Amino acid sequence: MKNLEFRTASSVRGGLLVMANVPGIAAGTRVSLTDHAGRRRNGLVIRTSDAAVLVEVFEGTDDLDLERTWVRFLGEPFSLPVSRDILGRVFNGVGLPRDGRPPIVSGQRRDINGAALNPAARAYPREFIQTGLSAVDGMNSLTRGQKLPIFSGGGLPHNRVAAQIVRQARLLGESGSEFVVVFAAFGVSSQDARFFQESFEESGALERLVMFLNLADEPVIERLLTPRAALTAAEYLAFELDHHVLVVMTDMTAYAEALREVAVLRGDVPARKGYPGYLYSDLAELYERAGRIKNRPGSITLIPVLSMPSDDITHPIPDLTGYITEGQIVLSRELHAQGVYPPISVLPSLSRLMKDGIGGDFTREDHPRVASQLFASYAKALEVRGLAAIIGAEDLSEGDRRYLQFAEAFERRFVGQGEEEERDVYATLDLAWDLLSMLPLEVLTRVSEAELAKYHRQNRS
């Protein structure tokens, strides 16, 4: 069967091709098509019976001439050749070289769908990653093996933030970046892709980078494969070659839109906003590939980037992502407009794994409570700011005015920092105490009395 070519395409609709009279074709088999012009296209069997086989064509079915289309069933699922040599390479959305260099030659191939990690095999991620960004390290910290997306919007600097995290991410106490980076871009402009590449080039880390690119003007259905190919490469690097891998995927919104497009073609029942009911499980199949495994030294830390349509966090894409990932870093248009970089809005941001990755054993003993205090004080400060907008700042009490100043300083000095500025976590915590010391001792009830005595400026000077 593997070497037979068929010319029995009986109908075509959207990206789907129906083949007649090819009995015994297995579900999920990869397909190779040669069209009338001799061009190759890739496909996948999504439904099969002896009478008809339905093939999804990734490059689309535009101008296919049924009479002159040859179809070969390859008898195996989509797979990616893997070897050490993928490092430093650039691939297209289905894992073929796009850097002009020869294809990867390897006897080893991996099914790009992966297989679900057994929950009993997982090890809980606990090691603190220092990103050098105070708003992340201090209040929404990242751990090795976590999946932490960036929720952004058009025109916001998510690429710069992601690139800065990638450049600066390292484990405390270990020098230099030991991360290998897998970068997958789908539906983004070539300019955005180049930005990343150059950002890595500057830090001289190109030989630790693997890229998978499906640009905005390239086939849409192919986007369904791109993150899978990238994660397959990441799994190989992490769990077979023992690397710590940082995966950046952008833009998840383009991915979900591609999925919706295909769902419509297949006639699947839509759930919300036209997205199929299985969008949740489909995204989970990607995101859950991050993690750590018992007795394996490597890890996959995943940073998906997504732009929220109309800045709406309840839109199905950010919503379902938030339901799967271990927190989110939310960028704010308001902070961006005020010139704060990185414009991270800390209150809607969250890192669920932070609680297990900080404190005396990992960062500093006061870290959990300082973070909690910053959240409480900043939330209160924003409330005061809201009040000031109604009654005017002059009419605020003395205590409330201090909160206003705190909010201002917090946004400018703590959240805000330079794009090349790498603050270590101790500097971040010290800065936090500088700011908290703007507030009276008594209101700082989230930190312990011992910590107040040790770190509050009023006590230290």
Partner 1 sequence: MGKILEINGPLVRMELPGVTLGEQVRVGALGLVGEVIARDGDTALAQLYEDSTGLAPGEQVEGLGHPLSVELGPGLLGGIFDGVQRPLEEIWRITGDRIARGVHVPALSRDRKWTFTPIQEHQSGRLLNAGDVLGTVQETASIEHRILVPPDVSGVLLELAPAGEYDVDATIARVRLHDGEIRKLSLSHRWPVRIPRPFKQRDHAVQPLITGQRILDTFYPLLKGGKAAIPGPFGAGKTMLQHQIARWCNAEIVIYVGCGERGNELTDVLESLPKLTDPHTGRPLMERTLLVANTSNMPVVAREASVYVGLTIAEYFRDQGYDVVMVADSTSRWAEALREVAGRLGQMPVEEGYPAYLGSRLAAFYERAGRVETLAGTSGSVTLIGAVSPPGGDFSEPVTSHTKEIIQTFWALSKELADARHYPAVDWLESFSGYVGQAARWWADNVDPGWADARARALELLSESEELRRIVNLVGVDALSSEQRWSLEAAELIKEALLQQSATDEVDSYASPEKQYLLLAGLLGIYGQGMKLVQLGVPAQRLLELPVMHEARRWKTRYGAADMAGLRERTAGLTGDFARLELEYSPLTSRDQERGI
Ligand X SMILES: Nc1ncnc2c1ncn2[C@@H]1O[C@H](COP(=O)(O)OP(=O)(O)OP(=O)(O)O)[C@@H](O)[C@H]1O
8 interacts with partner 1 by CB under 8 A: no
- What's the longest Cα–Cα distance across the chain? 86
Q: Which of residues 217-276 bind partner 1 (CB under 8 A)?
A: 239, 268-272
Binding mask 16-45 for partner 1 (x = CB under 8 A): -------xxxxxxx----------------
Only segment of 58-66, 160-168, 238-246, 347-355 that touches ligand X (CB under 6 A): 347-355
# residues contacting partner 1 (CB under 8 A): 76
* 78 touches 30 (CB < 8 A): yes
Query: Distance between terminal CA atoms of the chain?
Result: 81
Only segment of 143-151, 242-250, 348-356, 405-413 that touches ligand X (CB under 6 A): 348-356
Pick 43 or 322: Cβ nearer partner 1: 322
| Burial label, 397 (beta-carbon count in 10 A; 0-12, 13-18, 19+) | exposed
Among 81, 88, 309, 368, binds partner 1 (CB under 8 A): 368
Task: Report the alpha-carbon distance of residue 82 to residue 105 in Å, rounded.
Answer: 8
Binding mask 293-332 for ligand X (x = CB under 6 A): -----------------------------xx---------
Contacts with 367 (C-beta within 8 Å, 6 or more apart), sequence order: 138, 358, 359, 425, 429
123 interacts with partner 1 by CB under 8 A: yes
442 interacts with partner 1 by CB under 8 A: yes
Give the count of alpha carbons within 13 A of 147, CB side only: 19
Only segment of 189-197, 384-392, 404-412, 430-438 that touches partner 1 (CB under 8 A): 384-392
Binding mask 281-320 for partner 1 (x = CB under 8 A): x--xx--xx-x-x--x-----------------xxx--xx
Among 352, 380, 402, 446, binds ligand X (CB under 6 A): 352
Measured in degrees and rounded to the nearest 5, phi and psi for residue 212 equal -125, 115
Size of the chain, expressed as the number of residues it contains: 461
40 interacts with ligand X by CB under 6 A: no
In the complex, least distance from residue 51 CB atom to ligand X, rounded to whole angstroms = 43
* 227 touches 249 (CB < 8 A): yes
Continuous H helices in 218-329: 226-235, 252-266, 279-287, 316-324
Q: Which of residues 64-83 bind partner 1 (CB under 8 A)?
A: 77
User: What is the side-by-side order of every strand in the sheet holding 16-20?
Assistant: 9-13, 16-20, 52-57
> Residues in the site for ligand X, rule: CB under 6 A?
322-323, 350, 352, 355
